[in-house]
């Protein structure tokens, strides 16, 4: 469902989010913090059109992107020719154990059903090295929002809002240690509070 939807909207989505960071100092700040914390290669998992991947690259992070949607990846490669992008699923990452200094899932886990989160977080834990950092960005809440028209197209896409306490509990159960939790109120067209969690794999 997510792959088909994002293949359809890739070009329109890229145009809509192009100036996001110019208008979101909080997001710039937390991504800057993440860039300071990581040591070693970083994967943005669910990178979409590569907006965040390119931003981190500009901050000097050794980063590459992974996404399920070939359409989104085509835009990401065009917009960020100096960054590597690969097709893949966060449920089965084609990466060795402990390969990454950090991983970022910026509003990508929101398309994964809640009952699959433990499997996703276990996979993130597997590919991050001891001492490495994981950051999640997500919509805060406890409902599923079904999108049937978005970015100028008729699509079918579920967006799962996430309870920060429950997500942090699942991350700890996967083996991570809490580092930072942040929530902010909705801005502009946002319909719910926004959350960020940063956790670390023990050394």
The answer on pLDDT for 50 being more than 70 is: yes
Per the CB < 8 A criterion, the answer to whether 54 and 79 are in contact is yes
* Cα separation, 92 vs 109, whole angstroms: 14
Q: What is the DSSP letter of 142?
A: S
- pTM listed for this prediction: 0.90
Core vs surface per residue 72-84: b (16+ CB within 10 A) or e: bbebbeeebeebe
- Phi/psi for 202 (5° steps) reads -60, 150
Per-residue model confidence as pLDDT tens digits over 118-170:
999 999 999 999 999 999 999 999 988 776 666 665 656 678 899 999 999 99
Q: 10 Å Cβ neighbour count for 42? A: 26
The answer on pLDDT for 95 being more than 60 is: yes
**If residue 78 lies in a helix (H) or strand (E), which one and from where to where?**
helix 70-79
**Proportion of the chain above pLDDT 70, given as a percent:** 85
- Written as six digits, the tokens of 47 are 């990178």
- Phi/psi for 4 (5° steps) reads -60, -45
Helix 70-79 crosses helix 51-58 at what angle (to 10 degrees)?
Answer: 30
- Phi/psi for 73 (5° steps) reads -65, -35
Confidence of residue 9 (pLDDT cuts 50, 70, 90): low
Confidence of residue 22 (pLDDT cuts 50, 70, 90): confident
pLDDT at residue 137, as a whole number: 96
């Amino acid at each position: 469902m997510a792959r088909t939807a994002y293949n359809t909207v890739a070009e329109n989505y890229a145009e809509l989010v192009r100036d996001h960071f110019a208008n979101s100092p909080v997001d710039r700040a937390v991504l800057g913090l993440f860039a300071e914390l990581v040591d070693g290669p970083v994967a943005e998992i669910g990178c979409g059109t590569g907006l965040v991947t390119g931003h981190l690259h500009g901050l000097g992070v050794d980063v590459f992107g992974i996404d399920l949607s070939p359409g989104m990846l085509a835009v990401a490669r065009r917009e960020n020719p100096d960054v590597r992008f690969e097709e893949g699923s966060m449920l089965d990452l084609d990466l060795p154990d402990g390969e990454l200094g950090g991983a970022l899932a910026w509003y990508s886990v929101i398309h994964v059903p809640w009952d699959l989160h433990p499997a996703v977080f276990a996979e993130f834990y597997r590919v991050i090295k001891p001492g490495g950092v994981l950051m999640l960005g997500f919509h805060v809440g406890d409902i599923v929002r079904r999108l049937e028209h978005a970015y100028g197209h008729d699509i079918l896409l579920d967006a799962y809002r996430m309870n920060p306490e429950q997500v942090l509990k699942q991350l700890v159960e996967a083996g991570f240690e809490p580092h930072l939790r942040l929530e902010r109120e909705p801005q502009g067209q946002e319909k719910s509070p926004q959350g960020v969690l940063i956790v670390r794999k023990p050394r």
